[in-house]
Structure 1
Amino acid sequence: MTNTNFTKLEEIKKALNAKFFEREEEVEGILVALLSRQHMLMIGPAGTAKSALSVELAKIVQGTNYFQWLLTRFSTPEEVFGPLSLKDLEQGVYKRNTKTKMPEANLVFLDEIFKANSAILNSLLTLINERLFYNNGTPVKVPLMSVIGASNEYPEEGEGLEALFDRFLLRFELDYIADETNFVSMMKDTGQSVVMPSMTMDELVQLLFFTDMVTIPDEVYDTLSKIRNELRDEGIRPSDRRFKQSLSVLQAKALINQRQVVKVDDIVILENALWETVDQKDSVSLIVRSHAQGVVTQKLDRIQEEASEIYSLIQKDASTDAGMEATQKLKSLVADLNKLKKHNQSRDKDIDPLLDKVKAIQQEVLDSILEPMDIDTSSTRSAVEMPF
């Protein structure tokens, strides 16, 4: 894998995170889904950027065939799979014209996917799972890479949608923006000024090849086996197929982190994949994270290193522009720490001291911006003389 490929992935991830506030997990998830050729489901209220994120990804991958549709209980197969060819119908051939429809798409976004009715469901299941579309009874291989599904709510029991729900390996819950600063930035369209990078279909195909080449060591297989046994003890039994498909997710996550070998830490993403019902989510997350414990330490080390670098830079350049940039970066680090704290309450003693230090630096930088302009660099050391 070339440095250019690594750089392109990193640029795309950073740009999407800058454009969509508090969507770091979903950004990583949608990139992982694309590189692993798996499917991703986003559950959350309307107006949480589910469709916008998918559309942006389609724009980034230039040359992709993208299909997007809002499903309702009145949707017809023609809307999703294409109308019947009248010319063929005259010959007694029941064939659909699939041009610009889902059977010819590389990337698909289906909004309100659980509104799919029985007329659409069977063809949808086969197309998503086997990548086959039966046209006039003949199976046709489709170029589908990933389906991104979205819904405002989970499917209810007894609706016959269990098989469709199971087709989505990665599942993420979204909510409205929580941080007030991020909310104001969203209102001001701050993220809209981000220049989005791009990649060609050829570059994406190359990345798919490299994803398949990522090595999975025995340590990871052993950890997955332990997770499986612990889940069974809790009465949670993900299918063998779901575990097998999860391997490609781990390979994609490693590649996004610029590695060609999967680490045990990567397994943390499977907290979004190994549960069957909503009431199992917390138990699965606890078990998966307990086996990927190194991920918290790794993230804390990264955050401390970044905060230290920001602090050093602001000592060298105390200008207002530098201060504003530092504030934005520190705000992102605080958000990362709060997210870690929320999901890893047992690590409060490790997270809280670092969170206090980063907040202190953030406040110091904010104070320096608000002070009169003729500030020498030594004056920025008032709040914390040596944070790290």
Structure 2
Amino acid sequence: MNDFWDAGLTADAKRVGEAVAVAGAGTVDREVLAEVVALCAVAGEHLLVVGAPGTAKSEVVRRVAGQLGGRYFEYLLGRFTEPNELFGSVDLARLREGRVEYETGGMLPEAEIAFLDEVFLGSTAVLNTLLGLLNERVFRRGATVLASPLRVCVGAANGLPEDPALEAFADRFLARLFVEPVPDDRLEDLLEAGRRPAPALPEGPGLVGALDRLAAAARHCALDRVTPELATAVRRLRAAGIPLSDRRVVRSQRLVAAAATLDGRTSAASRDLWVLPLIAPTADAQALARNTLADLVGDAANAGLVYAAEELSRGPRARAARLARVGAGLLAEAAAADPESGATAGSATADLRLRLEATLREIDASFEPADLPEELAAVRTRLVEAVRP
């Protein structure tokens, strides 16, 4: 049985992966968020991002949306946000005819990618309307019934709600990602990035069509072979005390299928179970999920989602894939800086040389020479040549 897609879908997966990499480039420690947005868009599921203000949540989603293309809607909710601020105002011409319809152009019901900040601060009227839109991809208000083209809605909040009614609403976001401030060992990178002018990203290639083809492929991804491992994983998570409703368990298969699809395969395998920590409800539960599933996902890797696969699995194969991509990118940057040099460090900037050396050190700290995967070994050899005086 051939587990790989035809050339067209493989090209779609590669293009989406490259677009997300462009969106994540220049951010510090936010590549995982960019990749999980794309994963959820292909899975047809929504993402809740929890983190303190000022952790670049909206910036990353905005960059991903810009690269993927399509209609984008963003809004900061508050206690006094009116439904028409999200869903559109009453069509006055129709109202004079006695019909209550809404003008939705440029508003959330017609968006393909959406970001709603402080999502739990919405009023009951806002959240009830939003719930139907998220669940069914249909906007219903007054006499207006509109099929929404929404691929993914990213909701953001500073913390998880304690109100049981809001917890039920939060459950409609299958995937959760907890964003922390940039760690101390990367503060230099953060400060340097903050000094640079905001980069002008190239216009995205318009990949909504590719997303749709990949989403359709994910819906037909074969899950039979991974079902026993998935069931085992869920049993372990529940036994560890992680609460998972039947609905979240069933829908987790969409994330597994999307991960396989973005890796260019028609059939999911145990290597795709790295997505499961995303359905755990809290940051502590996600950390516990990673530890609980460590032996099941040790072989995890994903060609299009290298940062997310490594972060959620902490497996050596995923780390090797990420280091190979980072190293190849730095070597390309060095070659572009001085094409005639063959990417030697002598001609690279001091900052680039430091990054080349840091990547080489991370490779050597992570892998014994005999355990280096072939692709990473080749990149390491080129890095050694690049930093040689």
For structure 1, which segment, 50-59 or 86-95, has the greater mean C-alpha deviation from structure 2 after superposition?
Answer: 86-95
Asked if 1:94 corresponds to 2:121, the answer is no
Max Rg structure: 1
**Same amino acid, percent of matched pairs:** 24
Alpha-carbon distance in structure 2 between the residues aligned to 1:298 and 1:53? 26
Alpha-carbon distance in structure 2 between the residues aligned to 1:51 and 1:307? 24
Matches within 5 A, 1:91-130: 91-130=97-136
Matches within 5 A, 1:203-352: 203-218=210-225, 220-273=226-279, 275-277=280-282, 280-295=285-300, 296-302=315-321, 317-321=344-348, 325=352, 327-328=354-355, 331=358, 351=366
Alpha-carbon distance in structure 1 between the residues aligned to 2:281 and 2:214? 30
Whether the aligned pair in 2 keeps the contact of 1:250 and 1:266 (CA below 8 Å) is: yes
Q: Deviation digits for residues 8-32 of structure 1, max 9, x if unmatched?
A: 1232132123222211221210110
Alpha-carbon distance in structure 2 between the residues aligned to 1:262 and 1:353? 30
1:51 corresponds to: 58
2:36 corresponds to: 29
2:21 to 14, 23, 45: 14
Q: Deviation digits for residues 251-297 of structure 1, max 9, x if unmatched?
A: 22223333333231221121011x23555333333223342122313
Matches within 5 A, 1:187-206: 187-189=194-196, 192=199, 195=202, 197-206=204-213
Given residue 316 of structure 2, which amino acid in structure 1 is its aligned partner?
T
1:78 to 68, 77, 84: 84
Alpha-carbon distance in structure 1 between the residues aligned to 2:327 and 2:74? 44
Given residue 288 of structure 1, which amino acid in structure 2 is its aligned partner?
L
Alpha-carbon distance in structure 1 between the residues aligned to 2:272 and 2:126? 36
Given residue 178 of structure 2, which amino acid in structure 1 is its aligned partner?
E
Structure 1 gap ranges (5+): 338-349, 369-376, 382-388
1:148 to 144, 154, 178: 154
> Structure 1 residues 277, 206: CA separation in 2 closer, same or farther (over 3 Å shift)?
closer
Whether the aligned pair in 1 keeps the contact of 2:49 and 2:176 (CA below 8 Å) is: yes
Alpha-carbon distance in structure 1 between the residues aligned to 2:123 and 2:104? 19
1:175 to 180, 196, 208: 180
With normalisation by structure 1, the TM-score equals 0.77
Given residue 272 of structure 1, which amino acid in structure 2 is its aligned partner?
L
Q: Secondary structure at the match of 1:147?
A: strand
2:308 corresponds to: none
Distance apart, 1:152 and its partner CA:
1.6
RMSD of equivalent CA atoms: 3.5
Structure 2 gap ranges (5+): 1-5, 301-314, 336-340
Given residue 174 of structure 1, which amino acid in structure 2 is its aligned partner?
V
Q: Secondary structure at the match of 2:275?
A: helix
Alpha-carbon distance in structure 1 between the residues aligned to 2:55 and 2:275? 21
Alpha-carbon distance in structure 2 between the residues aligned to 1:292 and 1:170? 18
Alpha-carbon distance in structure 2 between the residues aligned to 1:245 and 1:189? 41
2:305 corresponds to: none
Whether the aligned pair in 2 keeps the contact of 1:67 and 1:102 (CA below 8 Å) is: yes
Q: Secondary structure at the match of 2:139?
A: strand
Q: Secondary structure at the match of 1:128?
A: helix
Whether the aligned pair in 1 keeps the contact of 2:16 and 2:210 (CA below 8 Å) is: no
Alpha-carbon distance in structure 1 between the residues aligned to 2:387 and 2:72? 53
Alpha-carbon distance in structure 1 between the residues aligned to 2:103 and 2:327? 59
Distance apart, 1:154 and its partner CA:
1.7
Given residue 129 of structure 1, which amino acid in structure 2 is its aligned partner?
N
Distance apart, 1:128 and its partner CA:
0.4
Alpha-carbon distance in structure 1 between the residues aligned to 2:267 and 2:205? 26
Given residue 298 of structure 1, which amino acid in structure 2 is its aligned partner?
R
2:311 corresponds to: none
Q: Deviation digits for residues 73-100 of structure 1, max 9, x if unmatched?
A: 1001111111122233334322222221
For structure 1, which segment, 114-123 or 53-62, has the greater mean C-alpha deviation from structure 2 after superposition?
Answer: 53-62
Alpha-carbon distance in structure 2 between the residues aligned to 1:80 and 1:228? 37
